[in-house]
Chains A and B, each alone.
Chain A
């Protein structure tokens, strides 16, 4: 398990979601092991030993957004309820502990909260997330909480502005120091993807790594596919996009085999997009500014629809990219994305992420996703500056 801890510590550093000196893991097989920053490691171990789970990560995020969300929460509130798809589907809500409510030993109360939820925010300490059966799962849940608080904080700022001392400075620092220019430059793509299986698999694996490295998706979520004749090659469900070797399913178009039962939950959406657009490849990521901006709507005040994320029938527009509602998997996403994505080559799903197409290869799809996210990023800051 130590190799797993080492691996996922590296991932937290690579995606810059946790501070280098503020990461700790605990894992238990027949004995409990802890590793990382001493105080956090002690907390992680004390908490995990109270849980019937395998692993736990306690880490200090590189951004103070989660702490700001707690500070902005009303008296008596005990959890944050982001509106993005990740939270809605997998987290439901994110409980928090305020600094003032922390006892000398926060482990028992933390264990109690983690007994009901995958991740918890502890003000001034960080995000603590549990993995029921693997170390990777703890990492995934940390990532999900980080992603969801990132999105919610930026969303809340657009609505309510800065309300706390230090918020503006932290936000400026985030914009200046944390964010990096986003581009596809320096990346190599096969211009026109052949029908050769080996080339397709290698290209999907490579693009998966690019997508994670450029921050267009957390490593766990998102999916990628390419079509070759009567076969779709698609990343598997629960696959990390930066580790796709051996995790790409070939799915026959005529459903003559069910081997692809392990394919991404978005297989149906990919299949229909191919049927309606003639594209060769599809890239799906969760770039954060696109997620934030997809949930903005001018009509919210007067609209009768409350579950906008799945029920909104309107096609909105973000810089030429259509924005539609839709649930993941067997929900409406597979119905709403295919009709709109062909014209622009990209589409955003409410609170969820971006789909882009390549007519010949992944270069076009990757560039399109970069463009969508850059537009949303610029548009976000333009609105914040108003």
Chain B
């Protein structure tokens, strides 16, 4: 078999066992890897609560990992989110994924709960659990340094140990498994870290075809202004979007009360380069290298992070924002949810936190001290407890990132149809509504968006299962990645068959969610977006979203998906139809 190893490491933390098992080949072919494989492996467990010991925490790589397919040395982590209650996955880069594949594994499937803190070491010769009492309570940097002899490290910080509902799992190279609180799931299992090392090679069925496909991908990268353009993400990282979002009047500001922040230039891509000496860094083997680090090697914040610690909280001090980012990384906190929760908290109490207060509040959250106990629950629960539920700018409890939905109607629809809650990366319509890739669409129109969002969700479910980076698709398409996959595996895949796989994955996730009580009532935006205008300027008007038109398009989306008016499956037993 090419592309896959066909092996899964089953770890039972309750029993303290590690066992390598076969993964049925037809499952790999039908779900690819990453998100898809993880979602499929959740089939018998998706009703379990996020902190129930038997709930699996799954790490899965894809068939392209281990080859030099551009942007594909990634993994997905899949489980059920304690923040949202939905099925949850997150894609992350770093060396860990590549080394896990090289250790002979497509997936690591972790269940149970260890009576004492442990870390898991994965090695082609021996997979083993080790005591980690001495690491419990340590920050991310110290943990990674302590375990570096074991290879690549992924770990939780204090936030994950303490059950913060938006705790991340941090990759040793600075990447994160973020947003949905899977760090808290890992912490609840008593698992502090996982290390992996391996030297295996992923075979390629047709090297000549692979090289040609890789050439096609790279050519499209070079032709994409967003990727390799002089103002693109390879140069400035994702903060290249700061100026654009300001110009488009869709930068969420002061808990989404407005959409323009006059001081956003302080943390734009050029400003970060100038102030922090930003240099290129990125995921292992990735030609784009969109992440940036300071001259001293400190990871610099992404677009969503600078906006949310910046405009969303009314903070213009770049160095305070960088410090907040570093603190989140060290504590194992999701930056978007942390900043958005602080912002909702700020609006509720009538005062947004200043730069100095942010740092102390972040520490309080990670250790659940004082106000941090409340804030650690995320914005939805916090706002409800404060009696101001309308102030949580979230969908399905997941805090919205830095693309105001009043400025891009496809994004508005995508937020609510996302199976993991208010996330920009599922359908990612910013690609065409703002960045004009592959072709531009009218951002202030719902016309055609239901179908567009559906297609994009299918595409991106496949992308997350390959596992490739979304940014690659600012240039390349499933045409070229289908060629890469066919060349690697020796099995013919193309855009349409990959989209069919993506649709299967998306619908499975939706089915799980519906079985756990999610329906149309959860597919909506905070009322603010239907009632209050954004910040007009530069000839751009940002009115509230027309609720009736939004609802009409959502119902259209349901029909396209084959769902009923409640967004559910009726009597249909989807899982019985699928491999």
Residues of A bordering B, CB below 8 Å = 1, 28-30, 51-54, 88-90, 92, 111-112, 114-118, 131-134, 136-137, 140, 236-239, 247, 251, 255-265, 267-268, 271, 327-331
Contact = CB atoms under 8 A, between A and B. Distances in A.
B229 A115 contact: no
A271 B225 CA distance: 14
Contacts of B228: 329-330
A328 B268 contact: no
A273 to B, nearest CB: 14
B479 A271 contact: no
Given A115-B494, A328-B222, A331-B219, 4 more contacts: A255-B270, A258-B244, A261-B231, A261-B240
17 contacts: A1-B448, A29-B448, A29-B451, A89-B219, A92-B480, A115-B495, A117-B479, A133-B451, A137-B439, A236-B436, A257-B265, A258-B231, A258-B242, A261-B243, A262-B225, A267-B229, A328-B222
Given A30-B559, A237-B436, A258-B243, A1 B447 contact: yes
Contact of A259 (B243, B435, B440): B243
A350 to B, nearest CB: 14
A54 B223 contact: no
Nearest to A261: B231
B231 A260 contact: yes
B269 interface: yes
A306 to B, nearest CB: 13
A268 B216 CA distance: 21
B230 A265 contact: no
Contacts of B479: 92, 116-118
Contacts of B243: 257-259, 261
A268 B230 contact: yes
Interface string B86-115: 000000000000000000000000000000
Nearest to A50: B496
A262 B226 CA distance: 7
B348 interface: no
A263 B230 CA distance: 10
Given A116-B479, A133-B456, A329-B225, A267 B494 contact: no
A262 B247 CA distance: 12
A31 to B, nearest CB: 9
Contact of B231 (A111, A263, A329): A263
A238 B438 CA distance: 8
Nearest to B500: A52
A116 B498 CA distance: 10
A328 B496 CA distance: 28
Interface in B431-456: 432, 434-441, 447-448, 450-452, 455-456
Given A238-B437, A263-B229, A327 B222 contact: yes
B472 interface: no
B548 to A, nearest CB: 16
Contacts of B434: 262
B450 A29 contact: yes
A84 B437 CA distance: 22
A28 B439 CA distance: 17
Contacts of B448: 1, 29, 54, 133-134
B473 to A, nearest CB: 11
B177 interface: no
Contacts of A115: 494-497
A234 B219 CA distance: 22
Nearest to A136: B439
A328 B221 CA distance: 10
B219 A54 contact: no
Q: Looking at chain B, what size class is its interface with the partner chain?
A: 35 or more
A112 B556 CA distance: 27
User: A-side binding surface: helix, strand, loop or mixed?
Assistant: loop
B220 interface: yes
Contacts of B440: 236, 238-239, 247
A313 B338 CA distance: 53
B560 interface: yes
Nearest to B458: A52
B353 interface: no
B494 A263 contact: no
A30 B450 CA distance: 8
A224 to B, nearest CB: 15
B503 interface: yes
Contacts of B497: 115
Contacts of A258: 231, 236, 240-244, 268-270
Contact of A329 (B229, B236, B432): B229
Contact of A271 (B221, B230, B268): B230
A137 B219 contact: no
B279 interface: no
B231 A237 contact: no
Contacts of B439: 131, 133-134, 136-137, 140, 238
Given A238-B440, A260-B231, A261-B232, A328 B223 contact: yes
A281 to B, nearest CB: 19
Interface centre among A30, A115, A261, A263 (most CB of B within 10 A): A261
Interface in B507-562: 556, 559-560
Nearest to A27: B448
B499 interface: yes
Contacts of B556: 29-30
Interface in B277-314: none
The 4 closest A-B pairs by CB, nearest first: A115-B496, A116-B494, A330-B228, A329-B223
A262 B495 contact: no
A264 B231 CA distance: 11
A247 B269 CA distance: 22
A316 B134 CA distance: 70
A331 B232 contact: no
A330 B231 contact: no
Nearest to A1: B448
Contacts of B223: 89, 265, 327-331
B270 A116 contact: no
Contacts of B222: 327-331
B224 interface: yes
Contact of B220 (A28, A53, A89): A89
Interface in B475-513: 477, 479-480, 482, 494-497, 499-500, 503
A186 B43 CA distance: 69
Contacts of A262: 225-226, 244, 434-436
Interface centre among B229, B242, B455, B477 (most CB of A within 10 A): B229
Nearest to B410: A133
Contacts of A256: 270
Contacts of B560: 29-30
A268 B223 CA distance: 11
Interface in B175-232: 216, 219-226, 228-232
Given A51-B496, A265-B229, A133 B452 contact: yes
B543 to A, nearest CB: 18
Contact of B229 (A136, A137, A261): A261
A265 B224 contact: yes
A193 B110 CA distance: 67
B496 A52 contact: yes
Contact of A88 (B219, B236, B500): B219
B495 A238 contact: no
Contact of A134 (B441, B458, B495): B441
A204 B216 CA distance: 32
Contacts of A255: 230-231, 270
Contact of A137 (B265, B270, B438): B438
A140 to B, nearest CB: 7
A54 B436 contact: no
